[in-house]
Each structure stands twice: as C-alpha cells, then as structure tokens.
Structure 1
Amino acid sequence: MEIFYIPFNPDQSHGWVVPIPRDGEKQFASRPDALAFARKLALTEAAEQGERSYLCVEGGDNQWRLFTPDLKPVN
C-alpha cells in the first residue's frame, strides 16, 4: 500500500514535494499540481502493483484526510 501526502502549505523551499516510491521525489510550484501528480501516480501504482494507493491531503484546518485516487473520501 502506498500513501501520498500532500500538505496544505509549501515546505521551506516554497514548493510542494511528492515522494515517488523507489524513485526519489518531485517538487511542484503549486499544491494543485502536486495533487494532480500524486493522484496520477497513485492510479498508476495501483494498476501496476495491484495494490491500493491513497492520497492523504492536509486541509486548511490542519486535519489530514485520506482519499482514494479518484478523490473519494475514505471513511
């Protein structure tokens, strides 16, 4: 199972970093770009590895919420 974390605020380098399993990380200038990339990566990981992947997204209220790659909330 892979979980991709997308924070609400940028890191110290003023960007959003998405870790890439077995391949380092990629930095983005905007949160929507980071989220779109993480979503695509989660869908690809699920298809190629046959395992579930999720997005854990931090909201403006500092709460982390878990979503499927289709952006449906996980209860």
Structure 2
Amino acid sequence: MADVIFLLDSSVSQSRDQFTRQLDFVNQFIDHVVVGTENFQFAVVTFSFAAKVEIRLAEFNDNATLKEAVRNISFR
C-alpha cells in the first residue's frame, strides 16, 4: 500500500493546455496501479495563490471514479 499526493501548478504561469497535461499525467499514472484501501490511495492538491485540496486521500476506492474526479479538476 502507498499514499501518493500530486501537487499540480494551476497558477498564471501555466496555460490551460499545460494544466491539462498535468491532469493527463496523473490519470496515466493511475492506469498503472490498483486504487483501493489495501492498495494505492491518492490525493491531489492544486496551487495558485493558495493551495486547494481537490482530492483527499482515501476519498476514492477505484480507478475509474478517481480518474473521473481528476478529469473534473478545474483550471483556475
């Protein structure tokens, strides 16, 4: 089991395309592991002027719903 936390840059230094590439990387990483309480757990934090927890550890217990939540993170 491992806890993985991704910190994504959503500041003005990033374009929407660059932010989307960050989200794509996270989802590609998720494709290579098993998400669940006995396996990998993920959190995602974005930062711009302040940090924002987008996904908390153990919030999702399967790959499909976690990937959908990652896709729904909005660019600030």
TM-score tier after normalising by the smaller chain length: 0.3 to 0.5
Which of structures 1 and 2 has the larger relative contact order (alpha carbons within 8 angstroms, sep 6+)? Answer: 2
Which structure carries more strand by proportion?
1
Q: Structure 1 length normalisation: TM-score?
A: 0.47
Q: Structure 2 length normalisation: TM-score?
A: 0.46
